[in-house]
Chain A
Amino acid sequence: MKHVYTWGAILAVVLASTTGDVLLSRAMKKVGDVGELWRRSGLLTVAGRILRRPSFMLGIFMMAVAFFSLLFALSWADVSLVAPASASLTFVANAVAAKIFLHERVDHRRWIAALLVAGGVVLLAA
């Protein structure tokens, strides 16, 4: 049962943080280059534009879900398993989700980068 809880919670972390990242990325693409916008119309306009995006708020909510799922996972298993497992799976899941939902061009270079980083994170915790 311990394994079911642990991996269930890790899966929840991966799904929630991937959803969160995709939503936040989509929101910020809609807002546009923040640096340029700041120079043209000031910080308040930037903050207003970001906070008015429903996908930004939903993204923050998903990040909170991911955070509490992580806390739950940590209550069942060691941090040396939970942190790298969820972080490296999130890297790969993000590459897939960004390709499908954000239509990013995930070329060989980016696949290899995502896999290298995911593998590296696993080794760091070994």
Chain B
Amino acid sequence: MTFRKYLVLAGVTLFAAIGDSLLARGMKQVGNISLQRLPEIISAILNPWVALGIFFLLGFFAAYMTALSWADLTYVLPATSLGYVLLALSAKFFLHEQVTTTRWLGIGLISAGVGFVTQGPALTRHPPHHDTPEAESEPVGTRAES
């Protein structure tokens, strides 16, 4: 894993959290949309918060696709799940919601999961028919490149 690749993973995490926060803020202004009046959802994108949120989510999608081009799905998903933590923190500091002990515990579990998966290799190599067991414990950085 190079520094540039960690930047892409950080981009996936940040853009998703920022995009979702902006969407949530915008949709609060737009109000409830029932299934019977689903076409109203089109006009929701005219809300500036929603539009900005979509802009960030496009950035998220580009970063996500880039990450998937050189890392496993089961690496990228947990590695970028810190976004849930960022969402909870933005709820606390920008929307002034209360973060309970249970939520802090959830934040702890997610962070532990992220720590776990990023210690390991980012990409499964498919060598022509010999799976070496010691390859699993190889340090980060040697397998992700090339």
Contact = CB atoms under 8 A, between A and B. Distances in A.
Contact of B107 (A33, A113, A124): A124
B73 A31 contact: no
A72 B113 contact: no
Secondary structure of the B side of the interface? helix
Interface residues on B, range: 35 or more
A112 B119 CA distance: 12
Contacts of B117: 109-110, 113
Interface residues on A, range: 35 or more
B96 to A, nearest CB: 17
A94 B79 CA distance: 14
The residue among A28, A33, A103 with the most chain B CB atoms within 10 A of its own CB is: A28
A70 B51 CA distance: 20
Interface of B: 4, 8, 34-35, 38, 65-66, 68-70, 72-75, 77-78, 81, 84, 88, 100, 102-103, 105-114, 116-117, 119-121, 124, 126, 136
